[in-house]
Amino acid sequence: MKAVGARLPRYDGVEHVTGRTTFVDDVRVPGTLWVKALRSPVHRADVKRLDTSAAESARGVHAVITWQDVPLLEYGHLSGLGIPADEPLLAKDDLRYKGQPIALVAAESEDAAQAAVEAMTLDLDEKEPLLDIRKAFDPDAPVIHQWGNWYPHFEAEMDRRQIRKGDIEKAFADADTIVQGVYRPAAIEHVPIETQVCLVVPEASGRLTIYTCTQALYFSMGVVAAHLELPLNKLKLVGGTVGGGFGGKVDTATETMCALLALKSGRPVKWRWTREEEFLCSSTRAPWHMEIADAVTSDGWILGRKMLTLHDSGAYARFSPYGLTKHSFHHTGAYTIPNLEFDGFVVFTNRVPTTAMRGFGVTSVSFAVETHMSRVAEVLDLDPYEVRLKNANRIGDTSPNGVVYTDPSTVPTIQAIADAMGHELPADYRAMSRHVREGALLPQHLVAQVGNPEAH
Amino acid sequence: MAKQTGRGFAAIEYPTGMNQNGDPSQAWIKVKPDGRIDVFAGTSDIGNGSKTIQSQIVAETIGVPYDWITYDNSNTDSSPVCTGTFASRATFVAGKAAEKAALAVRERILEIAGKELEIDPGDLEIVDGEVVAKGAPQKRISVPDVAAAATWGHGELITGTGAQLKPYAAIVEPETGKVDLPPHSAISYAACAAEVEVDDETGEVRVTRLVQCYDVGKAINPTLVEGQIEGGAIQGLGLGVLENCYPYYPSVDHRGGEFGSYLAPGMEDLPQIDTIIIENPSADGPYGAKGIGEMANNSQPPAIAAAVYDALGVWVTELPITPERVLRALEAKAAGEDAPKREGKKVVFDEALSVNAVSSGGMRFGVPA
């Protein structure tokens, strides 16, 4: 029998559909303490005073932690790639978004923990938040981040992610028409059925067993080990079966804090976010602002593209520099455009940090590029399938960053949908393939780039 | 006032694996004394089906039944490194590591079977859990008997490891974005047609049908990949017409903190979904597979936006395409205020949304007329 290619039953399907899978919150350990968080009530403020003494002496409370309890307060999601950290595990001097964790309590019940949180005193000096990424660059905009309002791209020593290819000015001069538009997909929530949850058990051996819903066991282990300044043999992460993630559980949102509380209290601790916390305090997909101007010919060739992208990172960088770079690599979509000028900025605002979500960096640009393609076809009064087939990536074409495509399938997927929808294509479009360009499909503006990564 | 229908189309591409690579996955396998197979990997299964996919790859590669496989990704003491389940990498990168580990195990089984049968291992193959001499199928020994011989006779443990890592692709010219190596493991492609029904009185957009085609390289498990595509379509539908953390973005007002005020798609929103799968194998994915888990929610929003234009003659380019946005667009059209600005050879849409209209001068976008 063949296993690959077979419609075999899901490995853990029966456990899932009969409700017998053990997720993190199904693990119950005697003596477990429960966690609640003091979170920022405002979008932006300086912390004038935080007094947790009433919480520490409250009934049933075994541990309270603030930023002072974290051995390494700042460790970035992209520190492994050499990108500096900007986000404290628990807020220190200033608050950058509503919902930001400031202090945590471990107590004998969730109610006791919540009561202790409410007993804390927090004095703030509230500040004007920055919310519109389009205004972040203005001289009168409040400066809300230690790096300025947009990410400095340390690794590139530039304040933006940039793509330059070909001769953009010539492309726009040669164009018959220039089509320009603005595209703004929204922030959305990951909405996993299982909200963020973690259980940490301090073992007699001195190790910590961390029951986690992370999408990335080893990544999260590295994050915890870095904040706690521990070698990996002190940690055992238990997980691997996640109740929905969609990118939001790459953030290591709870594990380190629970580990600190377990160490401080000497007791197992569990933190399970309410649905309201999941909606309001967990990271979201980023809102993006994209502007595209395409230089096109009247018969539907795209000679060049200028694009500006502003990526709303929220209060901290997290994975956003990675997401913007990926975005820039794919800003021509499934098409070959030889003349490019792309500028992208990761912009900080006073909203919940945005993070990875299914399609990270590219979902946005797919929406922008494809809606723009439909508009180009409409402006030129051409068939939207034909405009796409003409410009489609072919074997031998080069990408925005100089990589030769080896197996693009833009043409066959478009033809398959045309067939399925009964959309008739002219014979020359029907005969197109993904193979190397030639004849009428190799106009002058595409000749130099075929098979040539140096044509840049 | 009536319900208008429209059709729209989009074609997309998406990379497999972390952008710029450098993201390892590893697997190791041991064989029990009765020939059953234990696979250890660090790949979290977030519903994407990676336990199943990697088990299928191991079963196929060794040549044993799927139900002989036990897959353990439960903890970091026994499981080796996996960078994680994101970037559409679990099938391609982690699956490749599992395939490599399984190839090593297969080789060890053949070595020990060769000793038992006194046949060169190169002349043996494994079919359905039996080691068989090529061209002489009467000469055979079962994998359980090989495992027993290894354990009790030869004093050996049959094991194998595998790791997959594509080197980090550096941006060698930050000014141009040029890279020194391909920054992806593979690129997958898809196209989508959407049909919508829009009520021009209430502004409600109902997606009635999504027809989608994906090049998946190789469908390791067609049922699971169809599930990814259909599930992704619903998430894309949510992105297109329903979901929004900040209904009046960039304002943070009216943020929904419960299911009653945050509209994720429900069963009542489901359209008809037709799925077409194409298999153009990738050069080095396991059995030619590519990763399509993420891109499955990328094609629907632009196809829906184009379908709304087809139905009503208005472009809504802020997502989601809510009734309020549809009605405002229809009002603008009725007032003759929706037409793009034409200036020389320029056709400029959405001027009011541009940074040029909002920024006091810190940021500009534009091209000469």
Same domain, B67 and B205: no
Shared-domain flag, residues B213 and B140? no
Mean pLDDT of B15-21: 95
- CA–CA dist B273, B279 (Å, integer): 20
Question: A169 CB contacts (<8 Å, ≥6 apart)?
Answer: none
Q: Which residue of A has its CA nearest to B293?
A: A358
The answer to whether the CB atoms of A98 and B252 lie below 8 A apart is yes
* Helix, coil or strand: residue B105: helix
Contact B179 A417 (CB under 8 A): no
| Segment B179-197, tens digit of pLDDT | 999 999 999 999 999 999 9
Q: Same domain for B60 and B120?
A: yes
Please give the residue range of the domain that contains residue A436. Answer: 161-187+284-447
- The CATH number given to whatever domain includes residue B240 is 3.30.365.10
pLDDT at B332 over 80: yes
**What's the pLDDT at A81?**
80
Q: Distance between CA atoms of A191 and A249, rounded to whole angstroms?
A: 11
- Whether A317 shows a pLDDT value over 80: the answer reads yes
Do residue A456 and residue B176 have CB atoms under 8 angstroms apart?
yes
Does A206 lie in the same domain as A182?
A: no
- Per the structure block, which two tokens stand in for A445? 């503006």
DSSP B138-166: EEEEEHHHHHHIIIIII----EEEEEE-P
Same domain, A293 and A421: yes
Tally of structural domains, chain A = 2
Chain A neighbors of B222, CB-CB under 8 A: 5, 7
pLDDT band (50, 70, 90) for residue B367: confident
pLDDT digits (tens, 9 = 90+) for A244-280: 999 999 999 999 999 999 999 999 999 999 999 999 9
The mean per-residue pLDDT over the stretch A43-72 comes to 98
- Does residue B151 share a domain with residue B11? no
In a domain, B363, yes or no: no
A405/B187 touch (CB, cutoff 8 Å), yes or no: yes
Separation between Cα atoms, residue B302 and residue A369, nearest integer Å? 8
Q: In what order do the strands lie in the sheet with B37-41?
A: B69-72, B37-41, B25-31, B159-164
Overall number of domains in chain B: 2
Mean pLDDT score of chain B: 97
| Rg from Cα positions in chain A | 26
Query: For the segment A353-378, what is each residue's pLDDT rounded down to a tens digit?
Result: 999 999 999 999 999 999 999 999 99
- Is residue B358 situated within a structural domain? no
ipTM value, please give it.
Answer: 0.97
**B66 touching chain A per CB within 8 A:** yes
Asked if residue B188 and residue B153 are part of one domain, the reply reads no
Substitution target from A2, A7, A10, A12 for chain B, most B beta carbons within 10 A: A10
What is residue B366's predicted lDDT score, i.e. its pLDDT? Answer: 86
In terms of domains, do A300 and A276 share one? no
Q: How far is A73 from chain B (nearest CA, A)?
A: 23
Domain with A359 in it: what CATH number? 3.30.365.10
Which residues on chain B are in Cβ contact (under 8 Å) with A333? Answer: 11-13
| Containing structural domain, residue B50 | 21-164
- CB–CB contact A420 B74 (8 Å): no
Is residue A373 in a domain?
A: yes
Is A310 found in the same domain as A230?
no
B314 belongs to a structural domain: yes
Residue A156 pLDDT class (50, 70, 90 cuts): confident
Q: In A, which residues are within 8 Å of B190 by CB distance?
A: 413
Q: Is residue A346 helix, strand or coil?
A: strand
Q: 3-state SS of A42-64? A: CCCEEEEEEECHHHHCCCCEEEE
Residue A269 φ/ψ, nearest 5 degrees: -130, 145
Separation of alpha carbons B187 and A397, rounded Å: 13
Summarised one tens digit per residue, pLDDT across range A186-201 is 999 999 999 999 999 9
Q: Which of A2, A141, A401 is the closest to B179 by Cβ?
A: A401
Residues of A in contact with B218 (CB under 8 A): 4-5
| Dist. CA A134–CA A291, nearest whole Å | 11
Does a structural domain hold residue B29? yes
**Domain final position from A280, A305, A326:** A280
Cα–Cα distance between B22 and B12 in angstroms, integer? 25
Query: Where would I find the H helices in B122-240?
Result: 143-148, 222-237
Considering only the C-alpha atoms of chain B, give the largest distance between any 2 of them, rounded to a whole number of Å.
89
Task: Summarize the confidence of residues A288-314 as an average pLDDT.
Answer: 98
Instruction: For residue B163, give how far its alpha carbon lies from the nearest alpha carbon of chain A (Å).
Output: 15
Q: In what order do the strands lie in the sheet with B186-199?
A: B3-16, B186-199, B205-215, B272-278
For A262, other C-beta atoms within 10 Å of its C-beta total 27
Q: For residues A206 and A271, state if they share a domain.
A: yes
Q: Which residue type sits at B244? A: N
| Contact: A413, B11; criterion CB under 8 Å | yes
A440 in the same domain as A357: yes
Kindly state whether residue B350 falls inside one of the protein's structural domains: no
Report the C-alpha gap between A91 and A109 in whole angstroms.
24
B32 lies in the same domain as B8: no
Of A5, A240, A276, the CB nearest to B45: A240
Q: Look at residue B360 and tell me if it is in a domain.
A: no
Chain B 202-241, residues with CB within 8 Å of chain A CB atoms:
211-215, 218-224, 232, 235, 238-239
For the entire predicted model, the pTM comes to: 0.97
**AA letter at B147:** A
- Indicate if B144 and B199 belong to the same structural domain: no
For residues B279 and B211, membership in a common domain is answered with: yes
A chain contacts of residue B297, beta-carbon cutoff 8 Å: 358-359, 363
When pLDDT is cut at 50, 70 and 90, the band that residue A1 belongs to is low
Per-residue pLDDT tens over the stretch B117-166: 999 999 999 999 999 999 999 999 999 999 999 999 999 999 999 999 99
CA distance B363 to B369: 19
Same domain, A173 and A295: yes
Asked whether residue B131 falls in the same domain as residue B190, the answer is no
Is B73 within 8 Å of chain A by CB? yes
Share of chain B above pLDDT 70, in %: 99
> Per residue in B1-36, is it b (16+ CB within 10 Å) or e — as a string?
eeeeebbbbbbbbbbbbbbbbbbbbbbbbbbeeebb
Residues A401-425: tens digit of each pLDDT? 999 999 999 999 999 999 999 999 9
Q: What is the pLDDT of residue A454?
A: 82
In a domain, B345, yes or no: no
Which residues does chain A have within 8 Å of residue B366's beta carbon, measured at their own beta carbons?
180, 293
Residue A305 has pLDDT above 70, yes or no: yes
Residue B179 lies inside a defined structural domain of this protein: no
Give the integer Cα–Cα distance in Å for A398 and A340: 12
Q: Looking at CA atoms only, how far is residue A365 from chain B in angstroms?
A: 9
Chain B's closest residue to A341, CA to CA, is B176
d(CA B194, CA B208) in angstroms, rounded, equals 8
Q: How many angstroms separate the CA atoms of A317 and A355, rounded?
A: 9
CB within 8 Å: B19 and A178: no
- Chosen for mutation from A1, A2, A8 (greatest number of chain B CBs closer than 10 Å) is A8
Same-domain status, A256 and A339: no
Report whether A373 contacts B13 (CB < 8 A).
Answer: no
